Amino acid sequence: MTNTPSDLSRLRIDRDRPSGSSVTALRLSAGLAVTAMVLVVGGWWWLRPAAGPEVRVARVDVVGSGAPAVGITANGYVVARTRASVSSRISGRLAWLGVEEGSVVRRGEILARLDNADYRAALAQTEAERERAAASLVEAEAVRDQLRRDLARGRDLLERNLESRRTVEDLESQLAAAEARVNVQAAQVRAAEAAIGVARANLDNTMIRAPFDGTVLRKDAEVGEVVAPVATGGGLTRGAVVTMANLATLEVEVDVNEAYIARIAADQPARIVLDAYPEDGFRGRVRQIVPTADRQRATVQVKVAILDRDPRILPEMGARVEFLTGTPTDEASAPEAPRIMIPAEAVHSAGGETIVWVVRDGIAYRIPVDAGPVSGGRREVRSGLSGGETVIIDPPADLEHGAAVHVVTSP
């Protein structure tokens, strides 16, 4: 019987390989961890509040109790009280334009010139006709003067019976005819001079002049284009050459709701804020309240003079006017009561009542209010709000009371 030697290498212990019990424990722990995570995420997802629609919001402002107190606010534009679209008095082709946008001109200064060769020729022709009429007048006067002398000699001879009466009578007739010819030639000279005046006026009308001191705002035509006093249609005829304004007469025109117009008076102080420079304010004063209302918009136009002249103020700039109701030193004026002001877009009509939507902790609440007319894009809330609330601007049409919303920053 042969003895086979034993393979002792099979008896080696592999220490790097985990035992069966260890693997089972690890798998159990991992499963429990995954299950716990799924439960936590699922619970959070189930219990989290709905995000709701995105809404833009604004904060409710309380104005008043300060001096100078801001009364009515209105939006408008900067305009020039003295402004004109300068056109030619006759039709013609623009031959020369001597100004650009921003050019400062004086009254009577030539801005442009039309092609005027034919008008110059007409003037030269009328001047020649006047010279011819003047020469004819001199000739007629010479004939008349000679006949006067001949008549004087004939009468002298007739008194001495040295000349016949018939000869004297013929001289008198010739002298009367000569006087008539002189008068005709004199009238022709005056007519020629009048024609010269017309020709010169027509020639001068080819010169387009500034009607007042001001600044050129815009060129409405270029050299080579046909211009006319009134555009007669079509794209080849221009009705104006330049548009200019006197920037010293700049003012702000705003439309004030007619419900507030009683709170505005002539010479009332105001503060003007330009959209281009919102950080700066300019002093103003009510110059005129236009004595008529716009029935469609229920507004009255108010013109506010700008007291602080600044080269940054340009025509057609957007502006906001705050009409002031008092000053710190005005002891006679009572302090203004605080007023609640919100953007006009936050006020809506629903179910026969005026409402706003207020956001608290991500929840929208419908609040009935008593709101005044729109003024400067804002409305006064007389009841329903106390100030400091957050209101929704342009809420969704299907928004419900108590619904969750997601607030985004208003642009």
Residue 269's nearest CA partner among 214, 227, 306, 220 is 306
* Phi-psi category of residue 197: left, alpha or beta, with phi > 0 → left and psi -120 to 50 → alpha: alpha
Mean pLDDT of 220-227: 91
Higher pLDDT residue, 316 or 231?
A: 316
Distance CA(84)–CA(333), nearest Å, equals: 42
Residue 72: which pLDDT band, with cuts at 50, 70 and 90? confident
**Lookup: tokens for 408:** 């985004």
Q: Which of 122-126, 324-328, 397-401 has the highest mean pLDDT?
A: 122-126
Q: Decide: 219 and 242 in contact? Cβ < 8 Å.
A: yes
Task: Quote the pLDDT of residue 409.
Answer: 61
CA 6 vs. chain centroid, Å, equals 110
3-class secondary-structure state, position 363: strand
pLDDT band at 384 (very low <50, low <70, confident <90, very high): confident
Predicted confidence band at 406 (pLDDT cuts at 50, 70, 90)?
Answer: confident
- 100-147: pLDDT as tens digits: 999 999 999 999 999 999 999 999 999 999 999 999 999 999 999 998
pLDDT at 353: 86
Nearest to 375 by CA among 59, 75, 76, 58: 75
Range with lowest mean pLDDT among 9-13, 103-107, 148-152: 9-13
- At residue 19, the pLDDT reads 52
Q: Does residue 148 sit in helix, strand or coil?
A: helix
Q: How confident is the model at residue 329 (pLDDT cuts 50, 70, 90)?
A: very low
Q: Residue 388: CB partners within 8 Å, gap ≥ 6?
A: 59, 60, 62
**Greater pLDDT, 69 or 211:** 211
117-159 vs 165-205: helix axis angle to the nearest 10? 160
d(CA 326, CA 321): 15
Task: Enter the pTM of the model.
Answer: 0.58
90-102 in b/e burial notation, b at 16+ Cβ within 10 A? eebebeebebeee
- The 10 Å Cβ neighbour count of residue 256 is 25
The pLDDT of 169-196, averaged and rounded, is 93
Q: If you average pLDDT over each of 2-11, 12-21, 64-73, 100-109, which comes out highest?
A: 100-109
